[in-house]
Amino acid sequence: MKQKIKNALVSVSDKTELTPILKVLKKFKIKIISSGGTYSSIKRLGYDCLEVSEYTGFKEMLDGRVKTLHPKIHAGILHDRSNKKHKREMDKEKFPTIDLIIVNFYPFQNAVLNSKNQRKIIENIDIGGPAMVRAAAKNFENVTIITDKDDYRELIDELKKNNGKTTLKFREVMSSKAFGLTSYYDSMVANWFNQNLKIKFPERKTIFGKKLQNLRYGENPHQESSIYVNDFNDSEIGLKKISGKDLSYNNYNDIFSGLDILSSIKKIPTTVIIKHANPSGVSSNKSSIISFKNAFASDPLSAFGGIVACNFKINKSIAYEINKTFFEVVLAKSFDANALRILKRKKNLRIIDISNFKERENSAIKLFNNSFLLQDKDNIIFNKKGLKFVTKNKPSKKEIKEMEFAFNVCKFVKSNAIVLTNNFSTIGIGAGQPSRFDSCKIATQKARQFQPSKLKNAIAASDAFFPFADGIKTLIKSGIKIIIQPGGSIRDKEVIEAANKANIKMVLTGTRHFNH
């Protein structure tokens, strides 16, 4: 069913690109109602417009908080054109129909991003705009609602194609977008209040997101996928793609895993190589190129087809090293010109600058069917004051520092996790096994395969306690001399005795780092 548009109400905070809309409204003799800054802009552009206060016969009040909240406006939007009772009431009050609403809201996001003044932020919570949008969206059978200036062109084409009318299908699609916007806007407001009041787990939790882009595919080619931004700055996520193919779901999943680890290591040049959301190699070193080489050497087999994440600028030498292997993505805090020239030789390689990436959210969410889990991010490593030195041999301060590195990496590895390190570089990682014993075997096997000489006196970190002594016996047999683990097993005594018998050092943290 096509609906003729006679009257339109235009009220926008973003007044750009209005001219094409005003031009088509004039062409089809559609009367325009507006208020405040929008009214002034329309008049300045040379188009006729009736001010809201003149239309309603009621002046704006309360510093503009009340202007469109009036029966003449909401009745004009909400009445059912096919309902005779509604028509009689409208005729009695001499209220005309309002057939088109073009509205965008007060810039609440910008206020949050650019001001710490709570009063100013609250003043930018729009009331009249969302009320009109919801009214128009509910009554889509009779009213056209436009909430996004990106839809101006589609509205113009619709009006031209249908001689000043809109189709039911078009109105319904725009209604869906409108309800998406109002829920998004309200979600942002609710989340801002929760953040301001430090309420982590409110009774009702809304997650807002704006689509950044469609992805090549999901985890598998037969799955569709998109990425959304969940932030008051919803136009980007701080990742600047310089070159390469479009990103897939798996690429982003690996990218975020790499960025998580980098964010936990602040100062020292660090390289992280990720494969299927698990690190295959992590290394911190004063020399950037040694950092890359050591991370790669941890597991060169698994590195193939993975992603490289660096918290430093990539130069020519490092670019040459990267290009020796097939990687899907390279992340770094900028690239020099020669490095870019070298890396761009591989046309499909995604090159991404992470200089503007900042970790903002301090919670983690997992969705399943009609429910989701919400928790704090695992942002601690261990409490140094709470460390228990349970073996006869005690680690040195330098060894404790490297134990901290190993235990930190461990919390980013899928459970059950065992991480072996030597000189602030991983040399073997056992990830995601149902048995901790199996993770020990895999980690030591990796180290023997690629860096057997570094196993002697290496450090082993476990994300949770050892339920039996078999796991640490495997580690000891491979050459491990220091083990850091949470402790808490009913067999801790048995495990500690095995460590003392082997003359190795063991520290209990009391902090578990499951990562499922």
Which residues are designated catalytic? Answer: 138, 276
Number of H helices, E strands in the chain: 19, 23
Contact 371, 349 (CB under 8 A): no
For 416, half-sphere exposure in the C-beta direction (CA atoms, 13 angstrom radius) is 19
> Token digits for 90?
């409208």
Residue with tokens 């829920």: 183
What DSSP string describes 299-361? -HHHHTT-EEEESS-B-HHHHHHHTTS--SEEEES-B-HHHHHHHTTSTT-EEEE-TT-----
Distances in whole angstroms, Cα of residue 144 to Cα of each of 6, 24, 169: 11, 15, 10
Residue 17 per-residue DSSP state: T
CA distance 234 to 456: 49
Give just the sign of the alpha carbon dihedral 270, 273, 277, 280: negative
Q: Within its chain, how far is the Cα of 132 from the centroid?
A: 30
CA distance 241 to 238: 10
